[in-house]
Structure 1
Amino acid sequence: MREKPISEVAQPIGLDLIAPERFAPVLARLALLALGLGAGTGLLLAVIVAWPVAVVSGVVLGAPTALYALAVARRRLWLTATVLHARTLWRHRRLDLAQASGAEMLVYPGRLSRVAVRVTVGGDAQIVPVALYTDAGSGREMHLLGLRRLADALAAAPLPTALAVSGVLVAQIQAEIADADLEHRPLYRATRSVRARYSVQPVVLAAAEIAALG
C-alpha cells in the first residue's frame, strides 16, 4: 500500500462497525421514553404511597434503560495515527498500536457471527469488531478506510502476529475493492472455518489459520 501523508494519517478515523449517527436518534428516543415512563410511574405512585417511595420507584424503573441508551450512544472507537481511542460512558482509553504486546483475531460464532481484532498494549486490551455475518450470507464489514488505517497501525508494531493480522485486513480490502463474493473474503472465511468446528465460544485463530486467510 502506498504511503499516506503525515497530515492525512493523523486525522481521526472512526472504527465503529456501525456508524453511530445511524442509531443515535433511536437511542435518544429510547432514553426519553424511559425517563418519561419512570416519571409517569412516579407521579401515579405518589397518589397512593409516600413521595420518597414514588420517586425511588420511578428512578428504578426509568434510569437503567436511560443510562444504557446513553452508554451505547457515548461508545466510540477511532484511530489517530497509530493510537486507538476507545470511549465509553465513563472512560476514554488510548492504546498505541505501534507498542502492541499482543494481537489476535477472534471469531464469535453463532447465527450472527462476528470477527474482531483484539490488541493488547501493556496491561490493557481492546477489542475492535471488523465484520459481522449472518447465516443467510449477508452482513456488515468495516469501511475500507478504517480497515486500511487499522492495518497500517498494526503493521507498525514490532510483533509478528500483528503483522499477520494486518495482512488479513489488507487481503480483505483487496477483496472488497474487487467486489469479490463472500466466499473469497478473508473475514467471512474466518467465520466459516469456526462454524465448521461447532464451537459456541469465541475462538482465537491460531497463527497458521491467520496466515491461511491472507
Structure 2
Amino acid sequence: MADRGLVALDLVPPELIVPRLRVAGAVFAVVGAVLGVVAGVLISPYVGVALGAALVATAGFAVVSGGRRRVWIDHGVVSRRGSFRVRRVNLSDATKVEVLVRVARVSQVLIRVGDSSGDVTVGVAMYTTDGGRELQPIALRAVADGLASSPLASALALSSVLVTQLRAEAREAGLSERPLYRAIDVVRTSGRAPATVLTDAEVAALTD
C-alpha cells in the first residue's frame, strides 16, 4: 500500500463552488437590504436597520463558511473542515465504515467513517440519469488504501469496491458497470429511497 500524502477529497472542486456562493450571497444580501428598507418604512428605522444588517451578515457568513469547507485525506487520516472546526478520523482506527446512498434527481453516494470522537462523511459520486461526477482516481485510490489498513470487514469490503470502481473507470466502462453507480440501483430497487445505508452484504455485492 502506498504511503500517500495530502489528497483533496472534494467531489465538487472549490473553484466551482466559491464563485456560485459569492453570487448567491450577493443576491441574498441585496434582498436583505431591500427588506430592511421596507421594514424601516413600515415599522421603524431601528427594525429596518437591524433586519437588514442581520440578513446581510447571514449572507456574508454563508459565503465565508461555505468557502472554507474542505475534505482531504493525509496518510490515511480523513479530515473535514466545517465552519468552525476540523474533524478527523484515522481510517486504520475507524470503528464505523458505511456507504450512504441518497436517491433524488441528483443521486449521491457517500462514505461515512467514524470513531469515538465522531463521524466524517465523504462524497464519492453523484449521478443523474445520463451521467454524473465521481471522485478523482487519485482520491479514490487514497481512500481505498486507507480503508485497506483497517481491521474492519466493512472497511476491507469497501476498499475492494473502490478498487473495482477504479478499474471500471480506467477501461471507461458504462455507468451500469461501475460499483458506485450500482449502489444507486440497489437503493432504488430495494424501495428504501430516498436515503439509506447499505448493508455489508449489499456493499460486497457491488463488485459482482
1:107-122 to 2 correspondences below 5 Å: 107-122=101-116
Residue of structure 1 in register with 2:122 after alignment: 128
Question: Which deviates more from structure 2 when the two are superposed, residues 173-182 or residues 47-56?
Answer: 47-56
1:93 deviation in Å? Answer: 1.2
Residue of structure 2 in register with 1:182 after alignment: 175
Residue of structure 2 in register with 1:52 after alignment: 46
Instruction: Give distance in 2, aligned partners of 1:187 and 1:112.
Output: 14
**SS of structure 2 residue aligned to 1:21:** helix
Question: Which deviates more from structure 2 when the two are superposed, residues 155-164 or residues 108-117?
Answer: 108-117
* 1:157-182 Cα deviation digits (max 9, x unpaired): 12111111111011000100110011
| Correspondent of 2:64 among 70, 76, 97 | 70
* 1:34-55 Cα deviation digits (max 9, x unpaired): 3344345545655676432221
Question: Which deviates more from structure 2 when the two are superposed, residues 94-103 or residues 30-39?
Answer: 30-39
Instruction: Give distance in 2, aligned partners of 1:212 and 1:49.
Output: 62
**SS of structure 2 residue aligned to 1:128:** strand
Instruction: Give distance in 2, aligned partners of 1:124 and 1:204.
Output: 17
**Residue 38 (str. 1) matches residue 26 (str. 2):** no
Assess, with a 3 A threshold, how the Cα gap between structure 1 residues 101 and 53 changes in structure 2: closer, same or farther: same
Q: TM-score, normalised by structure 2?
A: 0.90
Answer whether contact 2:187 2:193 (CA < 8 A) is retained. Answer: no
Q: CA RMSD in A?
A: 2.0
**Residue 85 (str. 1) matches residue 63 (str. 2):** no
Residue of structure 1 in register with 2:90 after alignment: 96
Structure 1 stretches of at least 4 aligned residues deviating more than 4 Å after TM superposition? 43-50
Answer whether contact 1:148 1:170 (CA < 8 A) is retained. Answer: yes
Instruction: Give distance in 2, aligned partners of 1:44 and 1:115.
Output: 44
Query: Which amino acid is the alignment partner of residue 97 of structure 2?
Result: A
Answer whether contact 2:113 2:121 (CA < 8 A) is retained. Answer: yes
Answer whether contact 2:79 2:120 (CA < 8 A) is retained. Answer: no
Q: List alignment gaps of at least 5 residues for structure 2.
A: none
Question: Which deviates more from structure 2 when the two are superposed, residues 115-124 or residues 192-201?
Answer: 192-201
* 1:75-129 Cα deviation digits (max 9, x unpaired): 1101111111101111111211111011111111223221111101124111111
Residue of structure 2 in register with 1:159 after alignment: 152
**SS of structure 1 residue aligned to 2:99:** strand
| Identity of matched residues, % | 38
Answer whether contact 1:17 1:140 (CA < 8 A) is retained. Answer: yes
Answer whether contact 1:17 1:130 (CA < 8 A) is retained. Answer: yes
Query: Which amino acid is the alignment partner of residue 206 of structure 1?
Result: T
Instruction: Give distance in 2, aligned partners of 1:180 and 1:53.
Output: 59
Residue of structure 2 in register with 1:139 after alignment: 132
